[in-house]
Structure 1
């Protein structure tokens, strides 16, 4: 088949039931960036009539060493954040990855399909391994293949991600295409990244050139979903800005990274476009805008932190929800895993 006649991902996916899958590592201290870039969008997707599957990828977390008790707490905290942000376990499948063993099984099978060269080219591997690649775990090197398994295990056709994860979804498509080609089947879809919203990449409150990160040494650089109202307001009021007032058009934010970041955050929290926010505050200084942003953020985020706290006081209930979600996930995953094994020539006699 010539390159010109290759089917597009959309054409491939037309054969599959639309399904969304995405996951977050339970590595603690989820931030405003996680909420606007992922959790808020995950909750909104429940209203689009598409099956939604959301996973706490604890198997990915252990690619670097984790304290076992801390990992349990962080997994429950991440689950609490999902629920408090609007993900309804009755409408979405919510579970932690390690409770569905098919993830690890398909991960191995796809390790045997993926190529070393593909792994070596992954930007996040280069960034995380740095000059100490020889000292990193094999899991850290191979985890993009496990990520592909996470997605393909549910025949997901769409994956909500940030811009920095787009490469992983592209790799997932490459692995799916190679599997289908090698075995002469049309078994796996070609998942598409969903990069939506005005704040898919939330930047630091101290440096607009850096992504908001839970690993930043400065707690003032981020809004944690566990922050109380006073802390949220204080951090926004002290956010780094410039002395110029807000312009009357988005073009006026060129070269003003901190200002653009705060406008984007406001827009995402208010469900407006950045252009609408700029129009609303044109000519106003940050002495006016930052308190307004702080008030808006508190109104949106304080209920989340309060609900997270309530949920964390009942870890058994969180575990029950994750267990029920794992049963639902396993019911979807097992037939796909078993068919994969059959296609690859594994005897299935029990």
Structure 2
């Protein structure tokens, strides 16, 4: 079985409230990779149910993520957009990889500790085990590259460990070097977008304050208001990147501006260094509205008037995804010894 050279896999959870962090940290990068890689982009609905989801909301959120992919510029004719649950090889390979992965590896995953909180005994087994499903998502396509945020690098390392152990465990039966070890792609000046209310915390869908995030449903007025109220400090912006150290709110806003403009933080400070936030925030709001409004408008149009197109795109994408995944999983079965 020939190995792909530049195959990208990534996904976004359909848990509602897609926000600026999802766009800058993931979706926008997905768009840019289309010219250089073979891209497979998933709506990871199996991952979403590691915490309970209202079924009707899950369906709507799945369509919303797919709409965001398309509205942002991903071409579903050239690349693959689908939802994870339509391709059974993800879950089936995950079980085999569960038997390859070690409990100690999973116990070191910091994301579980963060998401489960103090009452870990009440968390679902799926929440504990989802890094193995993530590994299956990647490996079932033998993907070579995965665009990830800093907080997902640990899970990608786990995927590499699982792939390597599978290759070693089954080397005598044709498994040697079967799975490529996927490489991370961390791109851009704002790979980790922080909360507008607390620059030390990641922007999150689950934050109880809607003022903490700019969503892909926000109007121009909403965006301007949230940026105006974003956490900063009384000092003017520094003239060098080093001057942002210890100023989490300022650093976050400068990083967001840099990512939206496609420039380095140093260039932002070259223009705004020494100026007060009363000057910088309106400029940031204007830039954010210019970049996001076309996407939010197209998402809204599709969700209100063209859900049939979204569903057809997901189904067609799933067919193309199965054409890649099923032969890989068939070969895994043979390597493991299933008849």
Q: Say whether residues 1:80 and 2:67 are aligned partners.
A: yes
CA shift at 1:173, angstroms?
0.5
What is the DSSP-based 3-state SS (H/G/I as helix, E as strand, rest coil) of the residue aligned with 2:184? Answer: strand
Distance 2:135 2:161 in 1: 9
Query: Deviation of residue 133 (structure 1)?
Result: 2.4
The structure-2 alpha-carbon separation of the partners of 1:287 and 1:130, relative to structure 1 and needing over 3 Å to count, comes to closer
TM-score (norm 1): 0.93
Structure 2 residue 227 is the aligned partner of structure 1 residue 240: no
Q: Does 1:180 align with 2:167?
A: yes
* Structure 1 CA distance for aligned equivalents of residues 324 and 294 of structure 2: 33
- 2:290 is the counterpart of 1:299: yes
What is the root-mean-square deviation in Å for CA atoms of aligned residues?
1.2
State whether residues 12 and 44 of structure 2, in contact with CA within 8 Å, keep that contact through their aligned partners in structure 1.
Answer: yes
Q: Which residue of structure 2 aligns with residue 30 of structure 1? A: 18
Name which of 196, 213, 221 aligns with 1:205.
196
Shift of 1:202: 0.5
Aligned counterparts of 1:136 and 1:295: Cα–Cα separation in 2:
42
Deviation at residue 131 of structure 1 after TM alignment: 3.2
| 2:308 equivalent to 1:316 | yes
Query: Secondary structure of the equivalent of 1:26?
Result: coil
Q: Provide the C-alpha distance between the structure 2 equivalents of 1:109 and 1:64, rounded to a whole number of angstroms.
A: 23
Whole-Å separation in 1 of the counterparts to 2:194 and 2:216: 15
Mapped pair 1:276 → 2:263: no
Give, in whole Å, the separation in 2 of the partners of 1:318 and 1:69.
16
C-alpha displacement of 1:300: 0.4
Q: Please say if 1:130 is aligned against 2:114.
A: no
Post-superposition offset of 1:129 = 2.2
Q: What is the alpha-carbon distance in structure 1 between the residues aligned to residue 233 and residue 127 of structure 2?
A: 39
* Cα distance in 1 between the residues matched to 2:141 and 2:227: 40
Q: Where do 5+ consecutive residues of structure 2 fail to align? A: none
Distance 1:78 1:16 in 2: 27
User: Is 1:257 matched with 2:248?
Assistant: yes
Q: Secondary structure at the match of 2:82?
A: strand
User: Which SS does the other structure have where 1:205 is aligned?
Assistant: coil
Name the structure 2 match of 1:114. Answer: 101
SS of aligned partner of 2:216: coil
Which of 271, 281, 294 is matched with 1:290 structurally?
281
Q: CA deviation at 1:16?
A: 4.2
Deviation at 1:91, TM superposition (A): 2.2
Partner residue in 2 for 1:325: 317
Task: State the match for 2:338 in structure 1.
Answer: 346
Spell out structure 1 runs of 4+ moving beyond 4 A: none
What TM-score, normalized to structure 2? Answer: 0.96
Of 155, 158, 165, 2:142 maps to 155
Number of aligned residue pairs: 333
**Number of the residue aligned with 1:228:** 219
